[in-house]
């Protein structure tokens, strides 16, 4: 399958890239890892007249924890997240997530920035970032701005990024003591999109009650979904069979799946319920194991 012809641009700096993107507007698509864009172009579901390859821009690939924030450069490959010691040690939700995206070969090219900016509701990082309460750093010709993840996904394949803006960094709050997370995804086979998946990130108080809970849902709606009622139901409460099943029921209620080859509406909704309960239990287990861990991993990759 041969994509339609396009003009190829490979800017060598962020300034060049944003100037180019501002000039080309809707006619340009950004090429990051290319693992979603190129298949779409080959199927001619997307035929952009201009492709702006950002892979030659230095300084966009990093994983750094400093000042209470984990900062990840947009061009960081999924395989680099998977191999990161900081993420393995301190961000189990991210570690779970990057291991189940597509397959290992795709993960050698696919980038975290692309996974978010593409805004496919079936992509995995969006739900993860909703659960983590991340922020998106966007850079445009006029400078830089920060977008809270909860207002980033505006529709299917649509984000708050304006034409001319480039996603450059993802910022994740460093976990407080007694924090844990987990990502549970059901996929029919490696490389398939999720039938449904649930991301949970939580922080427990010393008495075991929930201080903060984030729950994100993958591929059960037109956009990734933040299950806010389920989150609120756990505020200040201990996780037990009753509170977990209530939160899981509310998360299932927040999902808006459509029927397809992966399952019926009822099946997917119930799957959200089951996966939410499992992810809550796993996240809590990790949060309790986490409490002894206070060492700094600053600067380590």
Partner 1 sequence: MRVQLSINGEKHEADVEPRLLLVHLIRDVLRLTGTHIGCDTTHCGACTVLLEGRPVKSCTMFAVQANGKSLMTVEGLEQNGKLHPLQEGFMAEHGLQCGYCTPGMLMAGYAFLGTHPTPSEDEIRVAISGNLCRCTGYVNIVKAVQHAATTLREGAAR
| Chain positions contacting partner 1, by CB under 8 A | 1-8, 10, 31, 34-35, 38-39, 41-43, 51, 53, 55, 79, 102-106, 108-109, 190-191
Map residue 217 onto helix, strand or coil. Answer: strand
Shortest Cβ 65–partner 1 spacing (Å): 25
Rounded distance between C-alpha atoms, residue 273 and residue 32, angstroms? 34
Shortest Cβ 17–partner 1 spacing (Å): 16
Shortest Cβ 8–partner 1 spacing (Å): 4
Rounded distance between C-alpha atoms, residue 142 and residue 128, angstroms? 29
Shortest Cβ 261–partner 1 spacing (Å): 15
Nearer to partner 1, 108 or 228 (CB): 108
Nearer to partner 1, 66 or 190 (CB): 190
Nearer to partner 1, 1 or 206 (CB): 1
Among 107, 81, 90, residue whose Cα is nearest residue 170: 81
H/E element, 68? none
Rounded distance between C-alpha atoms, residue 189 and residue 174, angstroms? 32
Nearer to partner 1, 97 or 223 (CB): 97
CB distance 155 to 246 below 8 Å = no
Shortest Cβ 246–partner 1 spacing (Å): 36
Nearer to partner 1, 44 or 145 (CB): 44
| Neighbour count for residue 4 (Cβ, 10 Å) | 11
Shortest Cβ 50–partner 1 spacing (Å): 10
Shortest Cβ 133–partner 1 spacing (Å): 30
Rounded distance between C-alpha atoms, residue 232 and residue 105, angstroms? 39
The pairs formed by 8-15 with CB atoms below 8 angstroms and a separation of 24 or more are 8/51, 8/53, 9/50, 9/51, 9/52, 9/53, 10/52, 10/53, 10/55, 10/56, 11/52, 11/53, 11/54, 11/56, 11/57, 12/56, 12/57, 12/58, 13/57, 14/57, 14/60, 14/139, 14/166, 14/168
Nearer to partner 1, 85 or 298 (CB): 85
Nearer to partner 1, 3 or 133 (CB): 3
């Amino acid at each position: 399958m041969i994509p339609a012809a396009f003009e190829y641009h490979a800017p060598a700096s962020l300034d060049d890239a944003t100037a180019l993107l501002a000039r080309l507007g809707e006619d340009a698509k950004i090429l990051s890892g290319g693992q979603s864009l190129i298949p779409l172009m080959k199927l001619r579901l997307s035929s952009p007249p201009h492709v702006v390859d950002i892979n030659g821009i230095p300084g966009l690939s990093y994983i750094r924890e400093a000042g209470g924030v984990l900062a990840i450069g947009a061009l960081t490959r999924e395989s680099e997240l998977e191999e990161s010691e900081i993420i393995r040690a301190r961000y189990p939700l991210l570690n779970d997530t990057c291991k189940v995206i597509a397959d290992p070969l795709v993960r050698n090219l696919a980038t975290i920035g692309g996974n978010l900016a593409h805004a496919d509701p079936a992509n995995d990082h969006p739900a993860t970032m909703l659960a983590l309460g991340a922020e998106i750093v966007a850079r445009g010709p006029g400078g830089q701005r920060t977008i809270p993840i909860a207002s980033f996904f505006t529709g299917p394949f649509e984000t708050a990024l304006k034409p001319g803006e480039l996603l450059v960094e993802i910022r994740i709050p460093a976990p407080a003591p007694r924090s844990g997370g987990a990502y549970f995804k059901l996929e029919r086979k490696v490389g398939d999109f999720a039938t449904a998946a649930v991301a949970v990130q939580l922080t427990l108080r010393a008495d075991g009650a929930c201080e903060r809970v984030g729950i994100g849902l993958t591929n059960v709606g037109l956009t990734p979904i933040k299950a806010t009622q389920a989150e609120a139901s756990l505020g200040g409460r201990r996780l037990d069979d009753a509170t977990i099943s209530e939160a899981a029921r509310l998360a299932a209620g927040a999902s808006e799946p459509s029927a397809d080859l992966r399952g019926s509406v009822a099946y997917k909704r119930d799957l959200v319920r089951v996966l939410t309960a499992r992810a809550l239990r796993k996240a809590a287990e990790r949060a309790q194991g986490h409490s002894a861990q206070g060492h700094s991993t600053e600067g380590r990759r």
